[in-house]
Amino acid sequence: MEGSPKRAETKRVRLKVAQHNCRGSNDAFITLFHIVKNFDISFVCVQDPPRYNGDPLRAPRYECIFQKTEKVRVCTYICLRVLLEISFVIFACIENVLYLRIFTKEEKLVGQSKSAGIVNAYNRRTKEGNSVQAESLFRETNKPTIIVSDLNVHTSLTDPMRVLSSLERRNGRRI
C-alpha cells in the first residue's frame, strides 16, 4: 500500500537471565559458565559464589557486579556485549540482596519502559529466622522488575512429595 504511513518498528534489547546457587564451589561456578556461554545469557545471578580474596571469581566475557561486604553472598554477572547497550545503577539494599536498575538509551526493555530492575537474593536460615524477609523483595513498583533468588523456602506447592516440618510450612506460607 503506497502512501500509507509505516509503523515505526521499536527496537528492543533482548535480556536473558540465568540464576544458580554455586554453594561456594569453584566446580559449580566453572560448570555454570561453561553452560551459559552456549545460550547468550545477558545476566547471570549467582548466590553463594566462590570467592578469591573475599571477592567473587571473574568469568570470561562477563563483568561481575557485587556489593563489598564481609562475605559476598550474591553477585550478578553482566555480559560485556550487553554492557555496550545499557547502563545500570546499584541500589543499596540489605545484606544478601543485590538490586540493579538497568537503563537503555533508545531501545525498550519491557513494554514501553526503558528501564527494568533485577533483584538477586540469597535467603539463609539463621538463628533469628530468615536472612532475607519476603517484604524486602516483593515490593510494589511501577517499573518492570525481575526477582531471581534462592529463597531456601520449601512448600508443598513446589515440592509435593517432601515431608515438611512445621517450621518449613510456616516459612513457606510467609513467602
Burial of 45 (0-12, 13-18, 19+ CB in 10 A): buried
Q: How confident is the model over 9-41, as pLDDT tens digits?
A: 555 567 899 999 999 999 999 999 999 988 989
Averaged pLDDT for residues 117-134: 82
Whether 135 is covered by a domain: the verdict is: yes
Q: Is the pLDDT of residue 118 over 90?
A: yes
**pLDDT score recorded for residue 127:** 76
Band (pLDDT 50/70/90 cuts) for residue 174 is low
Q: Is the pLDDT of residue 154 over 80?
A: no
CATH number at residue 106: 3.60.10.10
Whether 4 is covered by a domain: the verdict is: no
CB–CB of 119/88 below 8 Å? no
What is d(CA 85, CA 83) in angstroms, rounded to the nearest whole number? 5
Band (pLDDT 50/70/90 cuts) for residue 3 is low
Whether 51 is covered by a domain: the verdict is: yes
Whether 5 is covered by a domain: the verdict is: no
Q: How confident is the model over 77-115, as pLDDT tens digits?
A: 999 999 988 899 998 778 899 999 999 877 777 777 888
**pLDDT score recorded for residue 157:** 76
What is d(CA 19, CA 87) in angstroms, rounded to the nearest whole number? 21
Whether 3 is covered by a domain: the verdict is: no
Q: Is the pLDDT of residue 75 over 80?
A: yes
Band (pLDDT 50/70/90 cuts) for residue 1 is very low
User: Quick one: cell of 51?
Assistant: 570467592
Place of cell 512445621: 166
Domain count, the chain: 1
This model's pTM is above 0.85: no
Whether 6 is covered by a domain: the verdict is: no
Q: Which of 80, 138, 75, 85 is nearest to 107 (CA)?
A: 85
Question: Domain limits at 50?
Answer: 17-174
Band (pLDDT 50/70/90 cuts) for residue 53 is very high
Whether 9 is covered by a domain: the verdict is: no
CB–CB of 43/118 below 8 Å? yes
* Residue count of the chain: 175
Place of cell 536460615: 125
Whether 11 is covered by a domain: the verdict is: no
What is d(CA 124, CA 170) in angstroms, rounded to the nearest whole number? 15
